[in-house]
Amino acid sequence: MNSDAKYKLVFRLVVPGRLPLLNALLSMSHWQRVKFKKQEQAKFLSACKAAANDSPIQTGLSPSIFSICYDTAVKSLTTQQAISALRLAKRKSVAKKPRKLSSRFTKRKTSK
């Protein structure tokens, strides 16, 4: 069986812009990569939304593959943001709690 016959292109989504080379990505700091990733996600969501609205195939009540892709990406980003917010709240609450002294510092030695 021919390997090309197994896979068929279902849809093509073109996101405008150029991706940097791997060396350029690796040379970025952590926060530069986070900013770049968010920008690329925004471009992808915008392209998905535009493709869902401009689809020549009217699907009626069932959503198109682009709208499903858009909804999935939005839910994924929302989940990631919620997890980040929970982690931040947990870190803040742990930082506010006073540390307990270990028992060897709190016990008084009694003399006989």
Average pLDDT of the chain to the nearest whole number: 75
> How confident is the model at residue 22, as a pLDDT?
87
Q: Which 8-state DSSP code applies to residue 13?
A: -
What is the C-alpha separation between 107 and 98, in angstroms, rounded?
19
How many angstroms separate the Cα of 87 from the Cα of each of 31, 35, 48, 94, 97?
Answer: 18, 19, 30, 11, 16
**Domain boundaries along the sequence of the chain:** 35-54+62-74
Encoding tokens for residue 48? 């998905």
Mean pLDDT of successive 10-residue segments in the chain (112 residues)?
64 74 90 89 81 64 70 82 86 73 58 56
